[in-house]
Chain A
Amino acid sequence: MDQTPYIARLQNVAKTHMLDNVAVRALKDITVDIPRGKFNVFIGESGSGKSTLLNLIGCIDVPTSGNIEVCDQNTRLLDDNQLSDFRAQHIGFIFQTFNLMPVLSAYENVEYPLLLKQTPERERKDLVLSTLEKVGLLDHINKFPNELSGGQRQRVAIARALVKKPELILADEPTANLDHKNSAEILDLMLSIQNSEKTTFIFSTHDIKISHNVENLFMIMDGAIL
Chain B
Amino acid sequence: MRFLSIAYRNICRNKRRSLMTVLAIAVSSVSVLLFGGNLISIIYSLQTGYVRTAGHIHIYKRGYSRFGTANPGAYAMTDYERVLSIVRGDPEVKRKLRAAMPFMMLQGIAGNFKANASQGFTGIGILPSQMTRFMTWDQYHLKVTKADLSLGMGDQDVVDGVIGYGMAENMKLCKELKIEGCADDPAMKKDNAGSGKTVDFSALTDEDFPPETANANIPRLDLLAATSSGVPNVVTMTVHNARRFGSNAQNNGLVVMHLDMAQKLICGRGQPSVTGIMIQLNRTDDMDAVIKRLQQLLPASDYEVKSFGEVSPMYNQTIAMFATTFGFVALIMGVIVLFTTINTMSMSVMERVSEIGTARALGLRRSAIMTQFVAEGFLLGVIGATLGTVLALAASAVINWAELAWTPPDYATPVLLSVHLFLSPFFLPACWLGLIAVTTLSSFFPARNAAHMPIVDALRHH
Contact = CB atoms under 8 A, between A and B. Distances in A.
A113 interface: yes
A16 interface: no
A61 B9 CA distance: 30
Given A103-B6, A103-B10, A115-B2, A88 B363 contact: yes
A70 B306 CA distance: 79
Contacts of B459: 60, 95, 99
Interface of A: 55, 58, 60-61, 80-81, 84-89, 93, 95, 97, 99, 101-104, 112-113, 115-117, 160
A84 B454 CA distance: 13
Interface string B428-462: 00000000000000000000000000111001001
A87 B366 contact: no
A104 B6 contact: yes
A60 B454 CA distance: 8
Contacts of A85: 363, 365
Given A60-B455, A103-B9, A87 B361 contact: yes
B381 to A, nearest CB: 20
Contacts of A104: 6, 9
A88 B456 contact: no
B107 interface: no
Residue among B2, B13, B361 facing the most chain A CB atoms (10 A cut-off) = B361
Given A60-B361, A60-B455, A104-B6, A97 B462 contact: yes
A116 B9 contact: no
A84 B360 contact: yes
B13 A102 contact: yes
A101 B359 CA distance: 9
A93 B462 contact: no
Given A97-B462, A103-B9, A103-B13, A61 B456 contact: yes
B79 interface: no
A117 B363 CA distance: 9
Which bracket fits the contact residues of B?
A: 20 to 34
A93 B354 CA distance: 14
A116 B360 CA distance: 11
A85 B456 CA distance: 17
Interface string B350-370: 000011011111111111000
Given A55-B456, A99-B355, 7 more contacts: A84-B360, A85-B363, A85-B365, A88-B363, A97-B354, A99-B354, A113-B362
Given A97-B462, A99-B459, A103-B13, A87 B362 contact: yes
A80 B355 CA distance: 18
Interface string B35-78: 00000000000000000000000000000000000000000000
Contacts of B2: 115
A80 B354 contact: no
B456 A84 contact: no
Given A60-B455, A61-B455, A103-B10, A116 B364 contact: yes
Contacts of B365: 80-81, 84-85
Contacts of A88: 362-364
Interface string B184-216: 000000000000000000000000000000000
Contacts of B359: 101
Nearest to B359: A101
A102 B454 CA distance: 21
Nearest to B10: A103
Contact of B456 (A60, A103, A117): A60
6 contacts: A60-B361, A81-B365, A81-B366, A87-B363, A99-B355, A103-B9
Contact of A93 (B362, B366, B454): B362
A50 to B, nearest CB: 13
Nearest to B358: A99
A76 B357 CA distance: 20
A132 B205 CA distance: 108
Contact of A89 (B354, B363, B462): B363
Nearest to B363: A88
B362 A112 contact: yes
Contacts of A89: 363
B399 to A, nearest CB: 41
B358 A95 contact: yes
Nearest to A108: B6
Contacts of A95: 358, 459
